[in-house]
Amino acid sequence: MSDRPAPSPDAMIFLDGVSKQYPGQAKAAVSELSMEIGRGEFVVLVGPSGCGKTTTLRMINRLVEPTRGRIFIDGKDVTHADVDSLRRGIGYVIQQIGLLPHLTIADNVALVPKMLGTKKSERHQRAEELLELVGLDPAVYAGRYPKQLSGGQQQRVGVARALAADPPVMLMDEPFGAVDPIVREKLQTEFLQLQTRIRKTIVMVTHDIDEALRLGDRIAVFGPGSRLAQFDTPLEILSNPADDFVRDFVGSGAPVRRLSLLKVSDVVESSSADMPGTANVIPVDATETVHRALELVLASRAEGIRVGVAGGGSRYLDLQTLLIAAAQPTKVLS
Ligand SMILES: Nc1ncnc2c1ncn2[C@@H]1O[C@H](COP(=O)(O)OP(=O)(O)OP(=O)(O)O)[C@@H](O)[C@H]1O
């Protein structure tokens, strides 16, 4: 019917009023949820335990079949499509990794290409490329078995395996949840760098709001009963939480977290064209984060920063102005 919502041309994933009622449960796990996720976008689902994040994620590749609503991938209604071909285009990474213990790392990575009938030499070459891509030297790791790898290394193999069929979409359920905080941060950084190269459409579930703020192009904050409380950029969620639920969920550290998301260019409107001649200022690029600018100012005991602006010339922000500009609770300057 023509009056049903349709995905926009830029949408890679479109959920149209999807619901999931598990058998024997009084309440729906997910209720009438609609979301559109753009091509190449990295979206993170966060929210309290039991609010339906994993159910939502698994409805996208139909590991969980929706009770109502429609799912579109790349403009195609896949609600009733063949699941095997659907899943071929969707990589899936989970916390428990699920590497097969009796297969080498290369064979684990090449599992899906093998199922798809790719020739042995080709799939081994592909496995080596993928191991390289996720930062594991194939000469060292390709022939090892999963138990001979650390938790963080196994997680990288899980990512490599999910990328093996070069799927346009990746679903990740707490992919970095099982590793310690230091490895976790390293994996997050590596994964962000990887994403700038591979530009997949990614939907990731996490419990960790900091992880969400760090990784997501947009964050979907779920409330109880899968209510989509806010679906916006990290900066917008920190700057303008939609309601008290989101404000509480993000927690009390919002102003400090914003410093890592705000760019110097976002606050440069508060700058002045002049700085007292004696002031000790350091040059900072407008693309740096405010957090980095503050670090540089403190490390060099400067009094402020000098920012080059488009069209030539410089603007100045002293430390106090920089902090006040960064602390503005309302819309960010652009
Ligand atoms: N297979 C199932 N059968 C029955 N109920 C289920 C099933 N899987 C999940 N549920 C219920 O559906 C609701 C949503 O679960 P879901 O796992 O999607 O939430 P979540 O937000 O991912 O939770 P968590 O953060 O704790 O992993 C919960 O109340 C859960 O108990």
What's the gap in Å between 322 CA and the centre of ligand 1? 44
* Nearest protein Cα to ligand 1, atom 31: 50
Tokens standing for residue 157: 């193999």
Q: What is the pLDDT of residue 66?
A: 97
Ligand 1 nearest-atom number relative to CA 205: 22
Query: Within 6 Å (CB) of ligand 1, which residues are found?
Result: 22, 25, 29, 47, 49-55, 207
Mutation pick for ligand 1 pocket among 30, 54, 208 (CB with most ligand atoms within 8 Å): 54
* Lowest model confidence (mean pLDDT) among 73-87, 193-207, 242-256, 319-333: 319-333
**Percent residues over pLDDT 90 in the chain:** 42
| CA proximity to 34, closest of 81, 76, 68 | 68
* Nearest protein Cα to ligand 1, atom 6: 22
* 11-252 under CATH 3.40.50.300, yes or no: yes
Instruction: Tell me if 317 sits within 8 A of 265, measured CB to CB.
Output: no
Instruction: Tell me if 279 sits within 8 A of 303, measured CB to CB.
Output: yes
Instruction: Tell me if 304 sits within 8 A of 322, measured CB to CB.
Output: yes
Tokens standing for residue 175: 């992919």
CA distance 282 to 317: 10
Would you list the DSSP string of 89-149? TEEEEETT----TTS-HHHHHTHHHHHTT--HHHHHHHHHHHHHHTT--HHHHTTS-GGGS
Q: What is the pLDDT of residue 165?
A: 79
Does the predicted interface ipTM exceed a cut of 0.95? yes
Mean pLDDT (the chain) is: 87
Question: Higher model confidence: residue 72 or residue 250?
Answer: 72
Residues 6+ apart with CB under 8 A from 248: none
* Lowest model confidence (mean pLDDT) among 38-47, 74-83, 138-147, 175-184: 175-184
- Domain borders along the chain are 11-252, 262-326
Would the pLDDT of 183 be above 60? yes
Task: Report, as an integer, the average pLDDT of 109-122.
Answer: 84
What's the gap in Å between 19 CA and the centre of ligand 1? 13
Instruction: Tell me if 11 sits within 8 A of 38, measured CB to CB.
Output: yes
Name the architecture of domain 262-326.
Answer: Roll (3.10)
Q: What is the pLDDT of residue 276?
A: 59
What's the gap in Å between 173 CA and the centre of ligand 1? 13
Would the pLDDT of 331 be above 50? no
Tokens standing for residue 19: 């619901």
| pLDDT tens, residue by residue, 84-108 | 889 888 988 887 777 899 999 999 9
Task: Report, as an integer, the average pLDDT of 52-56.
Answer: 95
Quickly count: other Cβ atoms within 10 Å of residue 36's Cβ. 18
What is the pTM (predicted TM-score) of this model?
0.83
Q: What band does 334 get if pLDDT is binned at 50, 70 and 90?
A: very low
Task: Report, as an integer, the average pLDDT of 13-35.
Answer: 94
What's the gap in Å between 310 CA and the centre of ligand 1? 50
Distance, first Cα to last Cα, the chain:
41
CA distance 12 to 231: 16
Would the pLDDT of 73 be above 60? yes
Q: What is the pLDDT of residue 332?
A: 41
Would the pLDDT of 302 be above 50? yes
Torsion angle in degrees (nearest 10) through CA of 235, 236, 240, 242: -130
167 phi/psi in degrees, rounded to 5: -75, 145
Would the pLDDT of 288 be above 80? yes
